[in-house]
Amino acid sequence: MRDLVETGGPVVLILLIISVLTVTVIFYKLWQFASAGVGRHRQLSAAMVAWDAGDQDAARLALAGSRSYLAPLFQHALDTGQTPDRLAAEAESAFARLENGFRWLDTVAQLAPLLGLFGTVLGMIDAFQALQDAGAQVDPSVLAGGIWVALLTTAAGLSVAMPAALALSWFDGRMAGERILADRVIQTLWATGARPDAQPMTAISGTARA
């Protein structure tokens, strides 16, 4: 690793630091998704099916056994009959907590290749400057070696950007599914059991674990 940094220069060192931070963010998001129960909505879906069928007791029982981070929100909604707009806002607040860190991954996916290209440009400048200094006694191996070192930063940038982009795409896909489920549940609650004159719902904290 030290040889790689010494060969690639400060750009490779910066990319190495970014890669460590990116891997940390990815593993943190995986842990957060797992602990919050993202994608584990079997009981919640069963509760909504029972609620839609008019079996409120079965719906509440299924909801009580759900490990979904949305379960407390919708349990409170069943008790208060809150409006869809307020429910959607509370669900979006939970989604925002889960999406914390996505901007970093997006930035890395876009910036890392540019950093690698910047290092390549600097390396090419050094290589051609050495070629000019050599004058008539040009050694092709010197030029080839300079170009190889310059391209190393591009490879490093791409190797950092690609996993970040892949992870961000996967996380985005999971959150898109979460939003679809939440919208379906909200519409089911409001269509079959909402009470417009219900008391206002207080803010729900801890719907998603940081």
Question: Which amino acid is located at 142 in the chain?
Answer: V
- Spatial neighbors of 166 by CB under 8 A, at least 6 apart, are none
CA 107/CA 18 separation, integer angstroms: 11
CA 183/CA 189 separation, integer angstroms: 10
Q: What is the pLDDT along the chain (210 residues), one digit of tens a residue?
A: 566 556 667 788 888 899 999 999 999 999 999 888 887 778 777 777 777 777 777 777 877 777 777 777 777 766 666 677 777 787 888 888 889 999 999 999 999 999 988 888 887 777 777 767 666 666 666 666 667 777 888 888 999 999 999 999 999 999 998 888 888 777 777 665 544 333 333 333 343 433
- pTM, whole model, 2 decimals? 0.74
Structure tokens that stand for 127 in this block: 């290589």
Q: Is 66 helix (H, G, I), strand (E, B) or coil?
A: coil
- Spatial neighbors of 184 by CB under 8 A, at least 6 apart, are 48
Return the C-alpha torsion angle 160, 118, 5, 111, nearest 10.
Answer: -30
